Amino acid sequence: MRRLLTLLLLLLGTALPAAAQSGPSASFPYTLKTDRLPNGLTVVRVPYPSQGIIAYLTVVRVGSRNEVEPGKTGFAHFFEHMMFKGTKKNPEGARERIMGTFGFDDNAFTADDVTVYYSYGPAAGLPQLIEIEADRFQNLEYAEPSFQTEALAVLGEYHKNAAAPFLKMEEELNAAAFTRHTYRHTTMGFYEDIKAMPQAYEYSKTFFERWYTPDNTMLFIVGDFDDAKVMQLVRENYGPWNRKAATVKVPAEPPQSSPRTAHIDWPQPTQPRMVLAWRTPAASVDTMDAALQTVLVDYLTGPTSPAYKSLVLDKQLVERIGSDFSEHRDPHLFTLTATLKDERHRDTVRLALLKEVSNLAAGRVDAARVKAIQDHARYGTLMSLQTPRDVGIQLAWYAGILGTPDGLQRHLQNLTKVTPGQLQEFTKRYLTANRLIVLSLTPKTAGAGGTK
Amino acid sequence: MKTRALVSLAALLGLAGCATTPKPPVDPNAPPPAVPSTAALEQQPAQPPARPEAVPATPLRQPRPMELVVLERPDTPIVSFRLVFHTGSVDDPKGKEGLTDLTSTLMAEGGTQKLTSAQLLDALYPMAAQLSAYTDKEFTTFSGRVHKDFLPRFMDIFTDVLLNPRLDAAELERLRANAISDVENGLRSANDEALGKVALDALLYQGHPYAHYVGGTVQGLKAITLDDVKAHARRVFTQDRLVIGLAGPVDDALKQALTSRLSALPAQGAPRVELPPVPTTAGRALIVQKPTLSTAISLGYVTPVRRGDPDFYPLAFAFSHLGEHRQFLGVLFNELREKRGLNYGNYAYAENFIEDPGSTYNRTNIARTQQLHSLWIRPVVPANGVFATRGAVFFLDKLVKEGIPQERFDLMKGYLQGYTRLWEQTDQRRLGYAIDSLFYGTPNFLEEYRQALSKMTPRSVQEALRRHVHPDALNFAFVTQDAEGLAQALRSGAPSPITYASPKEQALLEQDKDISTFKLPVRPDAIQVVPAQTVMEK
With beta carbons less than 8 A apart as the criterion, state whether A31 and A209 touch: no
Question: For A190-222, how does the pLDDT look when each residue is reduced to its tens digit (9 = 90+)?
Answer: 999 999 998 999 998 898 999 999 999 999 999
Sort B506 into a burial class: Cβ within 10 Å, 0-12 / 13-18 / 19+: exposed
List, for residues B248-274, the tens digit of each pLDDT value.
999 999 999 999 999 999 999 999 999
Say if residue A217 is exposed, middle or buried (CB neighbours under 10 Å; 0-12, 13-18, 19+): buried
Please state the pTM of the whole predicted model.
Answer: 0.91
Name the residue facing A375 among B126, B184, B188 (closest C-beta): B126
What residues form DSSP beta bridges with B298? B376, B477
Does residue B172 contact residue B110 with C-beta atoms inside 8 Å? yes
Chains A and B form CB pairs within 8 A to the count of: 193
**In this structure, are A168 and A116 located in the same domain?**
yes
DSSP state string for A328-360: -SS-EEEEEEEEES-GGGHHHHHHHHHHHHHHH
pLDDT, tens only, B418-447 = 999 999 999 999 999 999 999 999 999 999
Please judge whether A152 and B341 are an interchain contact, meaning their C-beta atoms are less than 8 angstroms apart.
Answer: yes
Residue B46: predicted pLDDT: 52
Based on the domain organization, do A214 and A346 belong to the same domain? no
Residue in chain B nearest A308 by alpha carbon: B118
Q: Inter-chain contact B418–A379, Cβ cutoff 8 Å?
A: no
Q: Which uninterrupted H or E stretch holds A20? A: strand A19-22
Instruction: Let me know if residue A248 belongs to a domain.
Output: no
A117 occurs within a structural domain:
yes
Q: B447 CB near a chain A CB, below 8 Å?
A: no
Which whole-number Å values give the CA distances from B474 to A150, B36, B437, in the listed order? 29, 12, 29
Average pLDDT value for residue range B306-335: 96
Last residue in a domain, options A207, A238, A269: A238
Domain(s) of CATH 3.30.830.10: residues in chain B: 31-55+279-534, 67-262
- HSE, CB side, 13 Å, CA atoms: give it for residue A210: 18
Kindly state whether residues A229 and A374 are assigned to the same domain. Answer: no
Q: Which of A156, A372, A376 sits opposite B378 (nearest CB)?
A: A156
Which ipTM value was assigned to this complex? 0.90
CATH placement of domain B31-55+279-534: 3.30.830.10
> Is A152 contained in some domain?
yes
Chain-chain contact of A268 with B291 (C-beta, under 8 angstroms) = yes
- With respect to residue A243, please indicate whether it lies within any of the assigned structural domains: no
Q: How far apart are CA A364 and CA A356, in angstroms?
A: 9
Mean pLDDT estimate for chain B: 91
Smallest CA–CA separation between A244 and chain B, in Å? 31
Q: Pairing between strand B285-289 and B475-480?
A: parallel
Is B125 part of the contact surface with chain A (CB cutoff 8 Å)?
A: yes
Q: Which of B147, B177, B327 sits opposite A341 (nearest CB)?
A: B177
Is there a single domain that holds both residue A232 and residue A349?
A: no
Q: What is the pLDDT along chain A (452 residues), one digit of tens a residue?
A: 333 333 333 333 334 456 777 777 888 999 999 999 999 999 999 999 988 999 999 999 999 999 999 999 999 999 899 999 999 999 988 888 888 889 999 999 999 999 999 999 999 999 999 999 999 999 999 989 888 988 888 888 888 788 789 999 999 999 999 999 999 999 999 999 999 998 999 998 898 999 999 999 999 999 999 999 999 999 999 999 998 988 889 999 999 999 999 999 998 889 999 999 999 999 999 999 999 999 999 999 999 999 999 999 999 999 999 999 999 999 999 999 999 999 999 999 999 999 999 999 999 999 999 999 999 999 999 999 999 999 999 999 999 999 999 999 999 999 999 999 999 999 999 999 999 999 999 998 644 333 33
pLDDT of residue A39: 97
> Among all residues of chain B, which has the CA nearest to that of A368?
B126
Task: Assess whether A229 and A266 both reside in one domain.
Answer: no
Query: How far is A388 from A221, CA to CA, in rounded Å?
Result: 9
CATH pick for B67-262 out of 3.40.50.10240, 3.20.20.70, 3.30.530.20, 3.30.830.10 = 3.30.830.10
A23 and A67 part of one domain? yes
Under a CB-based contact definition with an 8 Å cutoff, are residues A55 and A224 in contact? no
N residues, chain B: 538
**Chain B closest-CA separation from residue A372 CA (Å):** 5
* Same-domain pairing of A233 and A291: no
Q: What is the CATH number of the domain that holds A309?
A: 3.30.830.10
Q: Do A365 and A412 fall into the same domain?
A: yes
Asked if residue B17 has pLDDT above 70, the reply is: no
Indicate if A177 and A299 belong to the same structural domain.
no
Residue B45 Cα, gap to closest chain A Cα (Å):
33
Task: Please give the tally of structural domains in chain A.
Answer: 2
Which chain B residue lies closest to A374 (C-alpha atoms)? B126
A5 falls within a domain: no
Residues A294 and A438 in one domain: yes
Give A391→chain B minimum CA distance, Å.
13
Kindly state the DSSP code that residue A113 receives in the 8-state scheme. S
Domain that holds residue A386: 260-448
Residues A222 and A303 in one domain: no
Do A219 and A310 fall within a single domain? no
CA-to-CA distance for B121 and B110, rounded, in angstroms? 10
